[in-house]
Structure 1
Amino acid sequence: MTRKEFLDLINSKIVLLDGATGSNLQKRGMPTGVCPEKWILENSRILIDLQKEYIASGSDILYAPTFSGNRIKLGEYGLADEIEDINRGLVRISKKAIEESNAEKNGRKVFVAGDLTMTGEQLYPVGSLQFEELVDIYKEQVAYMLMEGVDLFVIETMMSLSECRAALLAVKETCDLPVMITLTFEENLRTLNGTDPATAIMVLQNMGADAVGVNCSTGPEKMCEVVKLMKEYATVPIAAKPNAGLPVLIESETVFDCGPEEFSLEAKKLVEAGASMVGGCCGTTPEHIHLLSREISSLKPRSISKNKKRALTTERNTLNIDLNGKFLIVGERINPTGKKKLQEELKAGNLDTVITMANEQIENGADILDINMGMNGIDEKDSMVNAVQEVAAISNVPLCIDSSYVSVIEAALRIYPGRALINSISLEKNKCEQLLSIAKKYGAMFILLPVSEKGLPKNIEEKKEIIQTIIHEAEKIGLTKEDIIVDGLVNTIGANKNAAKETVETIQYCKEELGVATIIGLSNISFGLPERQFINSTFLAFAVQAGLTMAIANPAQDLLMNTVYAADLLRGKEEGDIRYIHRVTSRLMVITGSKPVNRDEKGKSPSSPSDNRNLIGENSENSLDSNPVYEAVIKGNKRNIVYLVKKTLEEGKAPSYILDHLLIPAINQVGILFDKQIYFLPQLISSAETMKLAIELLEPLLKKDEKEKHLGTIVLATVSGDIHDIGKNLVVLMLKNYGFRVIDLGKDVPSKKIIEVAEKEKADIIGLSALMTTTMLEMKEVIRLNKETGLNAKVIIGGAVITQSYADEIGADGYGKDAGETVMLAKKIMGL
């Protein structure tokens, strides 16, 4: 199947996908605890019959049952060495279903999608799995499915945008088949890792995904909002595969509460909201798909928008770049030129100053951060990759990748978990072609520098010609004007008295005639002159009025930044007045040391607009903010926490003081940030790991009675048949950090073993996790055995498919929605 054939299919009809596999196989005899892929191979007739029913119900695309067929997942069952036979065999089964259905003889074309999903391992720097390792893991699985002739690929049930990117690159670097990607979103309309729908589709469609969407998550009614948010940014088809509502327990059987009739009516609304492809996920049956087919049969496919949004992103947020919107600042400070301290740190592999500069620039108002590692004596590529990983982990503003070397830019773009900006592409023929190709591959925007191999343009006409030439070359490979920001090329006013006027003319030409965004390196204008800040700020005001979109500058310069905010105010930009007042009053407080204004629960002043650029920003008003140990836990600074704790001990602080007055308050604050959706899973894990390192150092130093002073004993396990443990591992880490004694039994733990250990260890609480609907009932079995044995342990449950109502139905003593809530629940149960 070519990408053109894929689009032709989308344009011809509402494409109907298939429904659930796992829940239906369980009803047809698949036991819990087995490897689903292996069981399907041994019971292929059951899968063939199920997929034939989906074809008869109207499905146009079948998902081959290769969902967890990657090396890491199969390794959990000891089957990694069988990865080729498993993946090839599973694709053959789906092809057999199509063949037996006689669909083609009846004039229907049904396609087989090779199915990829998460590995369950966390990517570095949160986990230990390197990005390139993950790409190779997916490439291996892709290659085996290609041997059996899959028609396209689907990457589904994803929670991490970085993992989506790795899987997408694996497919696109292996073949030219179409790729669909669907993510799973929580009730807060973000993935577990914090990505929102707009950011997900912006990143993935620009990297070449042929369709992006949502699956699993919820029932069809609640999924509509995700589809609508994606539709606003979409230039590719949107796919939606909702669950059949929520799982409930009826007569000891887990069922979903949305029947086929209700499902079909609600799922039809997904098409009306903008989805071009619909199907079903957990709990759906061939009957659900059959009735959905009936409902959408009269609907016409909507045309796919060609109006591309101009935006950069992080992993969690999108920064819109509007030619008529607010003015943007690109922070220029992360550059070793002329900075001896930074140079020495980079030579030593130390990124402390880089992180400090990133945080300071964000606090001072930077909307984008430029990262430049160009200097002698270091491996620039390694330094750039390390800096990008670290800065991306602690900030929520997009990055601008700044280097003279193509390889350095590509290495950074490859691992950056959002949509970055390249600084820059000029008309150096070979380099221009390479960089444009890289921008296209990784979905980046780029700064167009109007310089050719001959050097600087001699006049404005030559400058315009260079701009037009690069734009034309970009458009030839599928990039658009919305992907480009033209550098106004500021010369020094001391050497050329017309420098300011020529730059202004370039800005006006780009905005009014080409419809392209613009940027300038502001400080060039005043080079060699005294009191440069006055020249820079005045010139900036001229350029903004002419239509300048953004500038590369130092956001710590108050005169410059206040000019930016005043310019937006005077131009009548939306909330320009509020932003100006908040800016100048907050900066005045910094200068005078006056008390801050009252802030709401999210740390903003009552008049301040929403601004989520900084992960922490002003959300913590704890007096410990300036303490380095406290701050290290808040920011997940694993690199320096041991050194900082040792230094604090040398200063005379007792181990118990550090634990009780620095570490515990810090992790409490992290929990608050997570609860308010300012922090997400990666930040929570990073902070928890940082605290773990600190506690490991302190533990031998604590008095015996302090070490044994636990809040309570908790036995934790992922239930029998379930091999997912990311969430459970995080709960273990958090509970230990809070002072609980935790016995972690791991995953796929038999119910009897859980009770035996709880009895032996005199557990106060038993914590159970499940990610699959097929294993939820094991929780009820543990509760039954707990009561029969006469234990006093309270049972709390959690996991992606678990709800409060399910906890109530099976008689659990509590439900923990996430790690932070589970800690609070455990403390409540213990009366703390």
Structure 2
Amino acid sequence: MTRQDFWNLIERKGILFLDGATGTNLMKAGLPAGACTEEWILENPDTIKNLQTSYVEAGSDIIYAPTFTGNRIKLKNFGLENRIGEINNSLVTLAKESANGKALVAGDITMTGRQLKPMGDLDFEELIDVYKEQIRILDNAGCDILVVETMMSLQECRAALIAAKEVSDIAVIVTLTFEGDGRTLFGTDAKTAAIVMESLGAAAVGANCGTGPDNMVDIIADMASVTSIPIIAKPNAGLPVVTEDGSTEYDMDCDTFVAEMEKLIKAGATIIGGCCGTTPDYIRGIHEKYADYTISSNELIKADGSSFTRKPDGLRFLTSERKTVAFGLNDPFMIVGERINPTGKKKLQAQLREGNLDMVCDFVSQQEEDGATILDVNVGMSGIDEKQMMSDVLDEIIPLTSLPLCIDTSDEATMEMALRKYPGRALINSISLEKDKAERFIPLAKKYGAMFIALPVGPKGLPGSLKEKHEFIETLCSKAYEFGLNKEDIVVDGLVATIGANPDAALETLSTISYCKEHGLATICGLSNISFGLPQRAFINTAFLTMAIGSGLTMAICNPSQELLVNSAFASDLLRHKEEADLRYIERMGRYDGMNVQVTCVPKGQKLVAMAPDASAGTNSAKAGSDSDNKENGNVNVSDSLIKEELSDVKTVFYNKIKTDVMKGSKRTIEKDTLEAVDAGCEPKVLLNEYLMPAINEVGDLFDKGKYFLPQLIASAEAMKLSIAKLEPLLKEGDEEGAKDKDTIVIATVHGDIHDIGKNLVALMLKNHGFNVIDLGKDVPSEKIVDTAIAENAKIICLSALMTTTMQEMKNVVKLSKEKNCDAKILIGGAVVTEDYAWEIGADGYSSDAANCVIVVKNIIKNL
């Protein structure tokens, strides 16, 4: 079934009904904890057939083949990877027999349990190959559609969709699992996930597991507000609780679940079912109540009762993995930061040839701080492998910024590599009519869900007239439409010429901007060309920019540290009464901290300084723009940030560098900075206790507040680990306190669970805080955990579980610990684990995340 066939089915039926839980029902039927589910099902085929037949009879239009963990990596944990074809084929056959032609069968795919680089050791292309292998088998076995479910990583969702595109035309639906803060474990919000999945060609997108229907409403509403494809809601039957007989159940009964599902339909869900804790009765209940339900797509309802409409016409989206930038033709002007580009930057060129990315990373943080909305990334230059360098740069900067990226290269292979691995919706810079570039690059935009800049340059070069420029624009748009793209996927370059050579250059560009806005097209331009060869170029550039904004310019590629230019853009939005332009302007002006900024012309070669004539306004002078970009553009600069007082104490400089390295997760510099700090006389003990520890604690606070996400938390923890490794030998030398025995903690992912990213991070954070951590790994038997804790005289046992089918093993560890009189306190956590569950099974503590775990551990030990 193709995507269009799937959409036609939904249009006919109105609401599609999925099945309910598989894992929790199989466990009730005897599936042992820690067993390979697929193998057990094949040994007990009647169990799954009875369950799935019951779902079909209850009203399921689609049942999931029990191939959830049937990929090569997961099966390898049980020594079954060589049986992948046999296992998946047989499981699909069982599902098709259960469906008996009355329901569709979805081939079920999920995460592999191994983490992608740089957080793990799995290469993105290897993951795509893993998914391709399973998808080929499922498609050939006769699955009607594919479902990619219970996903926590947007990049892994992308890998599965790309894999499906490359081996099949079968429809793919995708559901992710979100935490209580509305983001996945990796920090992706629901809107961003939905946008990226739709742009990549998913037939439907939604959420499953993690929570009951009552807490899933806003997630579904967020997805519906930014997409036009169908939305899926497959919640749990509430939260897990331990019953009096010691079994684990879910706290939402069937009647309550059925009633709560109406909120999800009103929020935009048209494909509904159940996840953990639901049974055929739950599916029968929602089918009986909502099979003939009338959906009002014009007025959907959020959890707070407010109404909204589905994806508004004319709205465009660019995303990173953690942030969406939404814009229309009348929204505030945006800056595309241009500085990650070696052209004209000799120092950057030299660093790139050396493989040094320090300057690139500095440009990322500086441009984000200065107000860029999107970052252009260009590494094209002689003397390097552009494709490899682009890959290295992306690996380095993706964790550093939440801003969407504009991929800037004329090399087709480099562009495809970048679009393939970028975990968001990127902007391509650019596509023209030169040398069949449109025919080669537009398909890349379609395949990888990117927007693109349409550069109106023809087969023979620049347009000879304004009319020809507009004809080039129309031709580029027509070619894009032929590949299934639309106006919202295109940003037209106004193609700025220099007024020194063509006095009408500005007028022609302004005319093009107006022409594009009239035709519903977003626009962009580079500014510096307009003033080439003229004195005091900043004034020309600034005047031109404000005129272009007045004509409808959407965004411009420029250096966001050019204060006169950028501040004028903010002021232009304010004067044009664009939404929230007043707040944006006031916030921007806060960077001057009460200074009376004055703009004055100065002779060539001298610096302009914005002074604070009144002592009450501050004693610092404003920094004059002196970097190579500003000199080359001939810009007059106003203060772009206050000069901090020069630090005369060299030690303090190094102390602060170390703290900054941790805050930014700068693994590339922290070892060097640590050694240099020690050489400069910094005390290792002071570095650890007064800089490293407060820095990692601040990172934890930012994580708790939702300002940092898992990739940043991991990067900071890894950076701190590298610094401590350099300091540890020095701390032990003659340091009685450093020589003391550390409190021992045993940590493990429980038996049957092979997910360890959360556990690994907790272990790393605890080590960084000075504990002796014994990490037993994943899928660890209860006996081994308790025996190790006793043998090592551990103060605490930390247990992790990611699946509802394995979290019950935590209860077994608690029970065994008491039986063996183990003195260690037991602390539990994981995506499916709740604080109530911790108390119900008799654990001594609960942690919601790695940063919180350090606090809980310290509190427990303090009270021992």
What's the TM-score, normalizing by structure 2?
Answer: 0.90
| Equivalent position to 1:548, from 542, 553, 556 | 553
Secondary structure of the residue aligned to 2:774 is strand
The alpha-carbon deviation at position 149 of structure 1 amounts to 1.4
Per the alignment, residue 298 of structure 1 pairs with: 292
Contact 1:66 1:116 (8 Å CA) reproduced: yes
Q: Does 1:46 align with 2:29?
A: no
Any residues of structure 2 matched to 1:493-642 within 5 Å, and which?
Answer: 493-512=499-518, 514-587=519-592, 627-642=656-671
The alpha-carbon deviation at position 755 of structure 1 amounts to 2.0
Any residues of structure 2 matched to 1:800-811 within 5 Å, and which?
Answer: 800-811=831-842
Write the distance in 1 (CA, Å) between the matches of 2:3 and 2:779.
41
The alpha-carbon deviation at position 433 of structure 1 amounts to 1.2
Per the alignment, residue 451 of structure 1 pairs with: 457
Contact 1:182 1:212 (8 Å CA) reproduced: yes
Contact 1:268 1:295 (8 Å CA) reproduced: no
Secondary structure of the residue aligned to 1:774 is coil
Write the distance in 2 (CA, Å) between the matches of 1:309 and 1:73.
40
Contact 1:361 1:556 (8 Å CA) reproduced: yes
The alpha-carbon deviation at position 204 of structure 1 amounts to 1.0
Any residues of structure 2 matched to 1:240-389 within 5 Å, and which?
Answer: 240-251=233-244, 252-300=246-294, 307=313, 309-389=315-395
Write the distance in 2 (CA, Å) between the matches of 1:406 and 1:748.
44
The alpha-carbon deviation at position 306 of structure 1 amounts to 8.2
Q: Does 1:177 align with 2:170?
A: yes
Q: Does 1:817 align with 2:848?
A: yes
Change (3 A) 1:366 1:710: farther
Write the distance in 2 (CA, Å) between the matches of 1:125 and 1:777.
31
Q: Does 1:713 align with 2:744?
A: yes
Letter aligned with residue 91 of structure 1: V
Secondary structure of the residue aligned to 1:369 is strand
Change (3 A) 1:308 1:166: farther
The alpha-carbon deviation at position 709 of structure 1 amounts to 3.7
Any residues of structure 2 matched to 1:53-202 within 5 Å, and which?
Answer: 53-99=54-100, 104=101, 108=102, 110-202=103-195
The alpha-carbon deviation at position 419 of structure 1 amounts to 0.6
Letter aligned with residue 548 of structure 2: A
Secondary structure of the residue aligned to 2:454 is strand
The alpha-carbon deviation at position 694 of structure 1 amounts to 2.0
Secondary structure of the residue aligned to 2:339 is strand
| Equivalent position to 1:732, from 763, 767, 772 | 763
The alpha-carbon deviation at position 508 of structure 1 amounts to 0.7
Write the distance in 2 (CA, Å) between the matches of 1:347 and 1:432.
31
The CA RMSD measured in Å over matched residues stands at 2.0
Contact 2:266 2:295 (8 Å CA) reproduced: no
Write the distance in 1 (CA, Å) between the matches of 2:312 and 2:767.
51
Per-residue CA distance 1:683-742 (angstroms, 9 max, x = gap): 111111222222223223322644444652211122223222221111111111111111
Q: Does 1:20 align with 2:40?
A: no
The alpha-carbon deviation at position 349 of structure 1 amounts to 1.2
Write the distance in 2 (CA, Å) between the matches of 1:502 and 1:420.
29
Contact 2:654 2:677 (8 Å CA) reproduced: no
Give the ranges of 4+ consecutive aligned residues of structure 1 lying more than 4 Å apart after TM superposition: 301-306, 588-597, 623-626
| Farther off after superposition, 302-311 or 129-138 | 302-311
Per the alignment, residue 694 of structure 1 pairs with: 723
Write the distance in 1 (CA, Å) between the matches of 2:589 and 2:2.
56
Any residues of structure 2 matched to 1:408-447 within 5 Å, and which?
Answer: 408-428=414-434, 430-447=436-453
Contact 2:225 2:311 (8 Å CA) reproduced: no
| Farther off after superposition, 246-255 or 580-589 | 580-589
Contact 1:718 1:769 (8 Å CA) reproduced: yes
Change (3 A) 1:713 1:373: same
Consecutive unaligned residues of structure 1, counting only runs of 5 or more, are 598-622
| Equivalent position to 2:860, from 822, 829, 832 | 829
Write the distance in 2 (CA, Å) between the matches of 1:353 and 1:51.
57
The alpha-carbon deviation at position 144 of structure 1 amounts to 1.6
Per-residue CA distance 1:481-535 (angstroms, 9 max, x = gap): 01111111111011111111111111111102x1111111011100001110011
Write the distance in 1 (CA, Å) between the matches of 2:27 and 2:393.
47
| Farther off after superposition, 191-200 or 70-79 | 70-79
Per the alignment, residue 3 of structure 1 pairs with: 3
Per-residue CA distance 1:531-579 (angstroms, 9 max, x = gap): 1001100111111111111111111111001101111111112222222
Consecutive unaligned residues of structure 2, counting only runs of 5 or more, are 298-309, 596-609, 619-651
Secondary structure of the residue aligned to 1:6 is helix
Secondary structure of the residue aligned to 2:398 is helix
Letter aligned with residue 180 of structure 2: E
The alpha-carbon deviation at position 81 of structure 1 amounts to 2.1
The alpha-carbon deviation at position 780 of structure 1 amounts to 2.5
Write the distance in 1 (CA, Å) between the matches of 2:547 and 2:397.
33
Contact 1:374 1:403 (8 Å CA) reproduced: yes
| Farther off after superposition, 553-562 or 400-409 | 400-409
Write the distance in 1 (CA, Å) between the matches of 2:343 and 2:184.
39
Write the distance in 2 (CA, Å) between the matches of 1:708 and 1:301.
68
Per the alignment, residue 752 of structure 1 pairs with: 783
Per-residue CA distance 1:388-445 (angstroms, 9 max, x = gap): 2222210011111111112211111111011110111111252111111100111111
Write the distance in 2 (CA, Å) between the matches of 1:461 and 1:792.
83
Contact 1:179 1:210 (8 Å CA) reproduced: yes
| Farther off after superposition, 707-716 or 468-477 | 707-716
| Farther off after superposition, 259-268 or 278-287 | 259-268
Per the alignment, residue 771 of structure 1 pairs with: 802
Write the distance in 2 (CA, Å) between the matches of 1:442 and 1:595.
54
Contact 2:205 2:230 (8 Å CA) reproduced: yes
The alpha-carbon deviation at position 781 of structure 1 amounts to 2.8
Change (3 A) 1:626 1:400: farther
Any residues of structure 2 matched to 1:208-247 within 5 Å, and which?
Answer: 208-247=201-240
Per-residue CA distance 1:458-499 (angstroms, 9 max, x = gap): 111111111111111111111010111111111101111111
Contact 1:586 1:596 (8 Å CA) reproduced: no
Write the distance in 1 (CA, Å) between the matches of 2:336 and 2:592.
19
The alpha-carbon deviation at position 588 of structure 1 amounts to 5.2
Contact 1:194 1:680 (8 Å CA) reproduced: yes
Write the distance in 2 (CA, Å) between the matches of 1:160 and 1:82.
27
Per the alignment, residue 714 of structure 2 pairs with: 685
The alpha-carbon deviation at position 779 of structure 1 amounts to 2.1
Secondary structure of the residue aligned to 2:862 is coil
Per-residue CA distance 1:63-107 (angstroms, 9 max, x = gap): 1111111111112222222222221221111112123xxxx3xxx
Letter aligned with residue 803 of structure 1: T
Any residues of structure 2 matched to 1:661-676 within 5 Å, and which?
Answer: 661-676=690-705
Secondary structure of the residue aligned to 1:312 is strand
Secondary structure of the residue aligned to 1:452 is coil
Secondary structure of the residue aligned to 1:556 is coil
| Farther off after superposition, 637-646 or 724-733 | 637-646
Contact 1:10 1:301 (8 Å CA) reproduced: no
What's the TM-score, normalizing by structure 1?
Answer: 0.93
Letter aligned with residue 553 of structure 1: C
Contact 1:235 1:306 (8 Å CA) reproduced: no
Per-residue CA distance 1:741-773 (angstroms, 9 max, x = gap): 111122222223222221221111111112222
The alpha-carbon deviation at position 269 of structure 1 amounts to 2.3
Contact 2:19 2:273 (8 Å CA) reproduced: yes
The alpha-carbon deviation at position 626 of structure 1 amounts to 7.8
Write the distance in 2 (CA, Å) between the matches of 1:306 and 1:2.
26
Write the distance in 2 (CA, Å) between the matches of 1:63 and 1:301.
25
